[in-house]
Chain A
Amino acid sequence: MVTLDLHGYGWMLWRGLGLTILVGLGAMGLAVALGLLGAWGKLSRYRAARWLAGTYTTVIRGVPELILILLVYYGVPTLVQDLAASAGRDLRVDLNPFVAGIATIGLIYGAFATEVFRGAIQAVPRGQIEAARAFGMGRALLLRRVVLPQMWRFALPGLGNVWMVLIKATALISVIQLEELMRSADIAARATRLPFTFFFAASLFYLGITIASMLIQRRIESWSYRGAPRGQG
């Protein structure tokens, strides 16, 4: 059995791992919320909502993630300060890298979640929606009782993918000095001059998250399919 000698930096990697998972979970929560909102916008009767959701996904898909992260981290405080200055106020804003990380990653993957949710909502059999309408269900009830419960079933595989890509993308926010897994490995690698050791260790950690996620995802999916096999409607 080969053991990795981490020269006393192991704790740092573990702490980084914890932070990575925290940022990942926070960003995923935000992405799901934005995704639901975005899907609602894309499928909305209102042209303004459709336009807004369309612009959101287009912009996110069209701009590299790294740039978006830097834009949010450096751009938002500057923008706020400039705005304050033009209002004659002197304001100093620093964005917490943790919050900025969650916000940006969430914003980016919310666009992907939007597409996942849109597809999932459209996968709910039309006939079942018409049945609900024919029984006098209003829009809200229809959404809550028929569309959403079934939509999750169709969305889960796609959301699983979003999560796997998202957790790896959190490595990007090492550029804004947040000591998550990637940055911790980087710091340790520089300090010890052992880049291979630490990046290799970090990659094992990421792999570990992914494998654990896949196991959990399988659990959740089999739970969500309980009762009704697919091919219905």
Chain B
Amino acid sequence: MTPDVGPREAALRVTNLHKAFGSLDVLRGISLAAHEHDVIAVMGASGSGKSTLLRCINLLDIPDAGEVHVGGELIHMCFDRRGQRTAADPRQVDRIRTRLGMVFQRFNLWSHMTVLQNIIEAPIRVLGVPRRRAIEQADQLLRKVGLYDKRDDFPAYLSGGQEQRAAIARALAMEPEVLLLDEPTSALDPELVGEVLKVIDDLAAEGRTMLIVTHEIGFARAVSSRTIFLHQGMVNEQGPSRQVLDEPRSERFRRFLSGGNWGRAALTTPSQTGGNE
């Protein structure tokens, strides 16, 4: 692909990403591209590196090798004096991060701020949006995720589902080009999953570009355009969601899909999610 065909350039392109923690090779050459309006579901067993993949995209973890392009812009990397790979320009990273909304498994709302304050914080402080405008926009988002009546509550007083919807609103307030969602429902009680999936469903219908790690197979089939299955640090299978979810070609993926609800199994042992928080 030629680099200068702006409109056709992928919203997010990951090329040959590698990441190891000590001797543990977590990502061993992952490539993927999300074009505008794509919703990509990322699946894989617990520990297969799904969170690490998202975290390497916005450089919460530094990939050992590989490239990340956001809207055609390459995140420049270099080696520091000790030979550690690092971002060449921290300001570029901060700027790129404002274009990538992140939704965490454990919400990670700022607990000393109300819901509204959580949402307007980064737009005001990072993007320099005037306070009045930020509040108007936040109120709109709060209505959209059905949390307007909770706008002045602190996160501790919300249910998990409400917290996650607030976290989604917080991410949307940055008007990101791509949303990264890391198992947005797997820390929730089963009866709260629906309300969050509904919000994400609406976002997909709006044409948001999303990369979403999920164990909800039905949801992935209904909402995502493509599914990627990670196994042993590599893309084991990928393709249009309906196709690969209904007729997985790889033995591993088939076993994963028929193995029942991996997500549930993982969330009963939260210690396994270690690196995410």
Q: Report how far A150 CA is from B264 CA in the complex, Å.
A: 32
Contact A136 B122 (CB under 8 A): yes
- The interface-forming segment of A31-39, A101-109, A127-135 is A127-135
The contact string, 1 if C-beta is below 8 Å from chain A, for chain B 95-128, is 1011010101011111110100000011001100
Closest to A152 in B: B112
| CB-contact partner of B126 in A127, A131, A136, A228, under 8 A | A136
Residue B94 at the A interface, CB < 8 A?
yes
Q: Report how far A172 CA is from B104 CA in the complex, Å.
A: 52
CB contacts (< 8 Å) of A153 on chain B: these are 112
Contact A141 B125 (CB under 8 A): yes
Residue B277 at the A interface, CB < 8 A?
yes
Contact B126 A231 (CB under 8 A): no
A18 CB to nearest B CB, Å: 36
Contact B156 A229 (CB under 8 A): yes
B123 CB to nearest A CB, Å: 9
Question: Quick one: given A126-B277, A136-B122, A137-B126, are A131 and B97 in contact (CB under 8 Å)?
Answer: no
Residue A208 at the B interface, CB < 8 A?
no
Residue B194 at the A interface, CB < 8 A?
no
Closest to B95 in A: A136
Q: What is the total number of residues of chain B having a CB less than 8 Å from a CB of chain A?
A: 30
Contact B97 A130 (CB under 8 A): no
| CB-contact partner of A127 in B95, B104, B121, B170, under 8 A | B104
Q: What is the total number of residues of chain A having a CB less than 8 Å from a CB of chain B?
A: 25
B4 CB to nearest A CB, Å: 27
Contact B97 A133 (CB under 8 A): yes
Contact B155 A131 (CB under 8 A): no
Residue B154 at the A interface, CB < 8 A?
yes
Contact A134 B97 (CB under 8 A): yes
Contact B94 A149 (CB under 8 A): no
CB contacts (< 8 Å) of A145 on chain B: these are 121, 125
Residue B60 at the A interface, CB < 8 A?
yes
A201 CB to nearest B CB, Å: 44
Residue A86 at the B interface, CB < 8 A?
no
| CB-contact partner of B122 in A137, A227, A232, under 8 A | A137
CB contacts (< 8 Å) of A227 on chain B: these are 112, 114, 154, 156
Residue B212 at the A interface, CB < 8 A?
no
Contact B90 A128 (CB under 8 A): no
B180 CB to nearest A CB, Å: 8
Q: Report how far A2 CA is from B110 CA in the complex, Å.
A: 55
Residue A12 at the B interface, CB < 8 A?
no
Residue among B97, B112, B170, B277 facing the most chain A CB atoms (10 A cut-off): B112
Residue B186 at the A interface, CB < 8 A?
no
| CB-contact partner of A133 in B60, B106, B112, under 8 A | B60
CB contacts (< 8 Å) of A138 on chain B: these are 90-91, 94
Which B142-156 residues sit within 8 Å CB-CB of chain A? 154-156
Residue A233 at the B interface, CB < 8 A?
yes
Question: Quick one: given A130-B104, A141-B125, are A136 and B112 in contact (CB under 8 Å)?
Answer: no
CB contacts (< 8 Å) of B154 on chain A: these are 227-228
Closest to A127 in B: B108
Residue A146 at the B interface, CB < 8 A?
yes
Residue A125 at the B interface, CB < 8 A?
yes
Contact A135 B126 (CB under 8 A): yes
Residue among B90, B102, B108, B122 facing the most chain A CB atoms (10 A cut-off): B108
Closest to B180 in A: A134
Contact A134 B121 (CB under 8 A): no
Contact B94 A136 (CB under 8 A): yes
Closest to B111 in A: A232
CB contacts (< 8 Å) of A134 on chain B: these are 58, 60, 97, 100, 102, 104
A-B contact pairs, 29 of them (CB 8 A): A125-B277, A126-B277, A127-B106, A127-B107, A127-B108, A128-B110, A130-B277, A131-B104, A132-B122, A133-B60, A133-B97, A134-B102, A135-B122, A135-B170, A136-B95, A136-B97, A136-B98, A136-B122, A136-B126, A141-B126, A146-B110, A150-B110, A150-B111, A153-B112, A227-B112, A227-B156, A228-B112, A232-B156, A233-B108
Instruction: Please give me the 8 A-B residue pairs with the lowest Cβ-Cβ distance, nearest first.
Output: A232-B111, A127-B108, A136-B98, A131-B108, A134-B102, A135-B122, A136-B97, A228-B154
User: A residues engaging B (CB < 8 A)?
Assistant: 125-128, 130-138, 141, 145-146, 149-150, 153, 227-229, 231-233
